[in-house]
Amino acid sequence: QVTAKTAFLFILPQYNVSVPTADGELVQYHYGLKDLVTILFYIFIAIVLHAVVQEYVLDKINRRLHLSKVKHSKFNESGQLVAFHLTSVIWCLYVVVTEGYISNPRSLWENYPHVYLPYQVKFFYLCQLAYWLHALPELYFQKVRKEEIPRQLRCISLYLLHIAGAYLLNLTRLGLILLLLQYLAEFFFHMARLVYFTDENNEKLFNVWAIVFVVTRLFTLTLYILVIGFGLPRVESQALDPERGNFFSFLFNNILFRMSVLLLVCLFQASVMWRFIHFQLRRWREYWNEQSSRKRAAAATAAGTKQQTKLLKRDSGYHENGVVKAENGTSPRTKKLKSP
């Protein structure tokens, strides 16, 4: 029994409470320091799953493709993220549908703060934190190039900041929807990279990713405006109450603070869209440069073939009245000398 209690501390979410409802009692969860132990256990699980995907899937594909070192590293990164994002999208979509967050958008801010979480919501957040924390030692295990480390560290830090912030500030419902939108766009991007590494002429999935990216950015901005601009200011409890988990809803009652936050959100989304547009313009410019270089190469090859054909005709003579003549007008055939 002692070992069972210790095992449950690592495997199962802690801090369960019975919340009275109209139909009886409902077991829900809140967060605490014991969550760190559970996250540590699932960090090791994520490392093992990472190694399994690498060993039995990605390495076998890499041996067939014979990629360069740079493409090999990017292929492994995208392969791991495709598996993770696909799993997370399906899992997150199941959670938000079963909990009714999509069918009832008001639930994103109603009864804030959302201190008590359903089991599947808390477990999802713990696993997400464990995955992005496991990505830090994987930078060493995967022998990531030094020039790639700052970019990956920045990406990991942003995900950890978003997930931990939503978890600790009791904005888990909004965080779930935002993660679903972000993971959906990231899945198509890394899937497009995998297809591109196998066939460099196939860039159709990048076009699909571009459409999904723009749509998800619009939905993300709309959610921010809906929740921050209209939802949280209407929460009944507007007083600062850290014990109940109400950290900043009273701030959103101030129109100046609310507009400042919305302005920062819009500026951030605008910067993301600017980088996206810059990336698309660069990709299209490289594509058209490649196409024009191919046309010039084909034209040069055709001109060379035509010139070579002309030279061959000169060397072999030309026809006149059905007789092959040399360039000086004489017959290219040798004359027979008469015997004396």
Q: What is the mean pLDDT of residues 19-46?
A: 87
Q: What is the mean pLDDT of residues 297-305?
A: 76
Q: What is the mean pLDDT of residues 277-283?
A: 83
Q: Any residues with CB less than 8 A from the CB of 323 and at least 6 apart, and which?
A: 331
Beta-ladder partners of 29: 16, 117
The rounded Cα 257 to chain-centroid distance in angstroms is 32
**Alpha-carbon distance values, 145 to 84, 131, 135, 140, 150 (Å):** 22, 21, 15, 10, 10
Q: Which of 43, 32, 39, 33 is nearest to 10 (CA)?
A: 39
Half-sphere exposure of 130 (CA within 13 A, CB side): 26
- The pTM assigned to this predicted structure is 0.81
pLDDT of 272 > 70? The answer is: yes
Quickly state the pLDDT bin for 320 (edges 50, 70, 90).
very low
Q: What is the mean pLDDT of residues 281-296?
A: 78
pLDDT digits (tens, 9 = 90+) for 17-28: 887 777 777 888
Q: Which of 143, 271, 279 is nearest to 217 (CA)?
A: 271
Distance from C-alpha of 178 to C-alpha of 184, rounded to nearest angstrom:
10
Rg for the chain, CA atoms, rounded: 32
Quickly state the pLDDT bin for 12 (edges 50, 70, 90).
confident
pLDDT of 121 > 50? The answer is: yes
pLDDT digits (tens, 9 = 90+) for 219-234: 999 998 888 878 777 7
| DSSP 8-state class, residue 109 | T
pLDDT digits (tens, 9 = 90+) for 73-104: 889 999 999 999 999 999 999 999 999 898 88
Q: What is the pLDDT of residue 225?
A: 87
pLDDT of 327 > 50? The answer is: no
- Cβ atoms of 136 and 110 within 8 Å: the answer is no
Q: What is the mean pLDDT of residues 242-247?
A: 62
Of the listed ranges 12-26, 128-142, 184-198, the one predicted with least confidence: 12-26
Half-sphere exposure of 94 (CA within 13 A, CB side): 9
Q: Any residues with CB less than 8 A from the CB of 265 and at least 6 apart, and which?
A: 221, 224, 225, 228
The rounded Cα 46 to chain-centroid distance in angstroms is 18
Q: From the CB of residue 24, how many other CB atoms can be counted at a distance below 10 Å?
A: 7
pLDDT of 339 > 50? The answer is: no
